[in-house]
Amino acid sequence: MSQGQWYPPEWPDRIRALAAGELTAAAPRRAATVMLLRDPGTESGAAGGVPGDVTGGVTGPLVHMLRRRTSMAFAGGAYAYPGGGVDPRDDDRLIGWAGPPLEQWAARLGVATVTEAQAVVCAAVRETFEEAGVLLAGPTAGSVVGDTTGDDWEADREALVARDLSFAEFLDRRGLVLRSDLLGAWARWITPEFEPRRYDTWFFVAALPEGQRTRDVSTEADRTEWIAPAEAARRYDAGELLMMPPTVTTLRALTPYGTAAEALGAAEDQDMTPVLAQARLEGDELVLSWPGHDEFTKHVPAAGAGGGGA
């Protein structure tokens, strides 16, 4: 069992209650998260890298990660990527759009309508701006914003975080089109039925646009860093970094690629079949597993309080 796996101590009791019909599974909320990549030394103004670069001697792109505050109700203390829930207002109207048509995105994401596809992609782009200050949008289909660090940008970012401003309104106000071609869909994971805060989360990959830099602006995180995926996975295995199964799985999947562009180009070949954890009773044990990901299988006592820890 890997030592850095996020595993709430209340899960065994909730698994037993669900199996006994004493617990009703919550409906998962749509969400999106982005593995933002850059090649070492490519962040604006940082020819030799930036503070927080962690490579562990491994070549290849770095990924931007945040450590969620321990006070967070869901995955407190765990390392994750910028991301969050879909804003229902992003289903309401079509926006300025560049890249693959919405019909193509709907098929890739496995959703029924183009408006739902738009909302999921909007969530990915909006959350990356809200939590990292990076915006995958531009004034034309072939351009991207070069700098989002001014006071006026910060005011809009804060309005988006507060939900005082919808993403569609933000793009319209700025005269911007969303650059969906800068994103690649990578994976889809659904929070287990026994977890009270459930998310149906699409994972995307993107490269940091030229001229932009990440900023530590997320109110949900107490630390951010650029780190080589292999180094982050190694530290997870050593018990140094706490992560959820989809996070470490996607990190491992990024390790073969030598550049951010290579990883983005490989997105179309990734399996988007949703991964949903399962719990079953085997003798005196409850077995928690994620289909296709045996490293996360967890055995806990079938009776009494149990579990806990990572």
In a domain, 1, yes or no: no
In a domain, 149, yes or no: yes
3-class SS at 97? strand
Q: Is 286 exposed, middle or buried (0-12, 13-18, 19+ CB in 10 A)?
A: buried
- Based on the structure, what is the number of domains in the chain? 1
pLDDT tens readout for residues 68-91:
766 555 556 889 999 999 998 887
In a domain, 308, yes or no: no
Residue 233 structural domain:
11-301
3-class SS at 170? helix
> For the chain, give me the number of helices (H) and strands (E)?
8, 14
- The pLDDT value recorded for residue 277 is 86
In a domain, 310, yes or no: no
In a domain, 169, yes or no: yes
| H or E segment and range at residue 78 | none
Tell me the β-bridge partners of 205: 35, 184
Q: State the Cα–Cα distance between residues 87 and 161, nearest whole angstrom.
A: 11
Q: Which residues contact 70 (CB under 8 A, 6 or more apart)?
A: 76, 77, 222
* Domain of residue 165, CATH code: 3.90.79.10
- The pLDDT value recorded for residue 219 is 67
Cα separation of the two ends of the chain: 9
In a domain, 296, yes or no: yes
Compute the average pLDDT of residues 90-113: 92
In a domain, 4, yes or no: no
- The pLDDT value recorded for residue 46 is 37
DSSP one-letter string for 4-49: TB---TTHHHHHHHHHTT--PPPPPEEEEEEEEEE-TT-STT-TT-
Contact between 160 and 137 under an 8 Å Cβ cutoff? The reply is no
In a domain, 6, yes or no: no
Compute the average pLDDT of residues 246-271: 96
pLDDT tens readout for residues 196-208:
888 999 999 999 9
